[in-house]
């Protein structure tokens, strides 16, 4: 039995997977031999650490775990993570001892998502721009949520291998005059203007206040309230012109950052947009604005961003599947 986790600042998802024969018929595995047999979601802030929720989950299921892997938001250094957006320190050796295993693999959450992409089936990915498919080529993954994550899936000649990054903390690179003004607005309030200041849930309020500080909505003054759902809902419904403009600008910046990532990695295999925000604003990602911003770059020899396919990951359990796959294959 494989224990997999997707651990973020807002939620911590745990799941148990069995390895079964692939193919048709009862008990067949739809995702690379892996079948999910139990899952549970925890609110990260309500718990002291990963061991607490793992203990609760395994106590409820009575499962005997033979392998485990956790995707965690934050940089993994020597199989140890100081989690981003939640005050947890997770140590792979400590978790292995806790679970009675020889090894527990820790991955950055986007690294886990990247491994999960290869396991997704029809209906779990939506292509918003087909480009020219190149299956045996590097891919990139970008996901905005509580924070911004980015990862690279490089092709090693036989398979894709995932590389974590901390690109969400790299500098925000304005691509238009309006975005340059947004940078100035943010710089007046923050020492570092990293791209996650915009491309995360709280970034919607920053963009909204930049566009019109005189217009506010419920929750804007409460740090405990996430303003993103209200802004995106009003923006998509056309109820608030400032919200609509904020969503449009946010999507343009998201597309531009995705294009930057694809350019840096020469990602002919595609851009994969994951994370909960993408699902909530999917109509905006599909209207052409995201793809246009992703491709508005200086040309680089024979590598054309116009040829890079762009997909949205619809399956929110992709990180769990990827973590389970990494544990199964010993990656």
Domain coordinates of the chain in residue numbers? 2-107, 167-313
Of 37, 119, 115, give the one whose Cα is nearest residue 71.
Answer: 115
CB-count burial class (<10 Å; 0-12, 13-18, 19+) for 286: middle
Q: What is the pLDDT of residue 33?
A: 84
* DSSP annotation of 85: T
Q: What is the pLDDT of residue 24?
A: 45
SS3 312: strand
For 309, residues 6+ apart whose C-beta sits below 8 A from its C-beta are 127, 129, 130, 131, 132, 133, 269, 270, 271
The pLDDT tens digits of the residues spanning 61-117 come to 988 999 999 999 889 999 999 987 778 899 999 999 999 999 999 999 999 999 999
Q: What is the pLDDT of residue 223?
A: 80
Dist CA 212 CA 240 (whole Å): 11
Q: Taking the model in full, what pTM does it have? A: 0.92
Q: What is the pLDDT of residue 221?
A: 81
Q: Which CATH architecture does the domain made up of 2-107 adopt? A: 2-Layer Sandwich (3.30)
Dist CA 294 CA 314 (whole Å): 20
Alpha carbon of residue 115 to chain centroid: 12
Triad 39, 41, 43: Cα angle to 5° = 160
Q: What is the pLDDT of residue 32?
A: 54
User: In what helix (H) or strand (E) does residue 119 lie, and over which residues does it extend?
Assistant: none
Q: Are 12 and 45 in contact (CB under 8 A)?
A: no
The full 3-state SS of 255-276, as one line of letters, equals HHHHHHHHHHHCCCCEEEEECH
φ and ψ of 45, to 5 deg? -65, -15
Please provide the CATH number assigned to the domain covering 167-313: 3.40.367.20
pLDDT 10s per residue in the chain (331 long)? 999 999 987 889 999 999 976 554 444 444 458 999 999 999 988 998 999 999 999 999 988 999 999 999 889 999 999 987 778 899 999 999 999 999 999 999 999 999 999 999 889 999 999 999 999 999 999 999 989 999 999 999 999 999 999 999 999 999 999 999 999 999 999 999 999 999 999 999 999 999 999 998 877 888 878 889 999 999 999 999 999 999 999 999 999 999 999 999 999 999 999 999 999 999 999 999 999 999 999 887 789 999 999 999 999 999 999 999 999 998 8
């Amino acid at each position: 039995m494989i224990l997999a986790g997707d651990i973020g600042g807002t939620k911590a998802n745990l799941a148990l997977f069995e390895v079964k024969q692939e193919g048709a018929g009862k008990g067949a595995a739809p995702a690379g031999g892996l079948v999910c047999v139990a899952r549970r979601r925890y609110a990260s802030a309500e718990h002291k650490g990963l061991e607490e929720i793992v203990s609760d989950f395994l106590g409820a299921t009575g499962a005997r775990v033979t392998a485990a892997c956790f995707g965690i938001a934050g940089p993994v250094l020597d199989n140890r993570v100081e989690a981003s957006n939640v005050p947890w320190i997770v140590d792979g050796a400590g978790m292995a001892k806790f679970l009675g295993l020889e090894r527990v693999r820790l991955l950055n959450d986007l690294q886990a998502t990247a491994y999960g992409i290869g396991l997704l089936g029809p209906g779990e990915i939506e292509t918003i721009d087909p480009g020219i498919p190149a299956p045996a080529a590097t891919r990139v993954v970008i996901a905005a949520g509580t924070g911004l994550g980015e990862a690279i899936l490089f092709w090693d000649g036989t398979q894709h291998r995932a590389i974590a990054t901390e690109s969400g903390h790299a500098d925000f690179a304005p691509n238009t005059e309006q975005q340059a003004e947004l940078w100035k607005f943010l710089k007046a309030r923050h020492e570092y203007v990293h791209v996650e200041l915009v491309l995360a849930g709280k970034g919607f309020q920053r963009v909204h206040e930049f566009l019109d500080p005189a217009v506010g909505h419920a929750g804007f003054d409460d740090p405990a309230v996430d303003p993103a759902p209200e802004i995106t809902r009003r923006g998509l419904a056309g109820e608030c012109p400032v919200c609509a403009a904020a969503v449009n600008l946010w999507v343009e910046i998201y597309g531009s950052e995705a294009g930057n990532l694809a350019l840096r990695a020469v990602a002919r295999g595609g851009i994969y947009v994951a994370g909960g925000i993408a699902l909530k604003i999917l109509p905006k990602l599909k209207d052409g604005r995201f793809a246009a911003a992703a491709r508005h770059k200086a040309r680089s020899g024979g590598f054309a961003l116009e040829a890079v396919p762009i997909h949205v990951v619809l399956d929110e359990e992709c990180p769990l599947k990827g973590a389970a796959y990494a544990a199964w294959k010993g990656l």
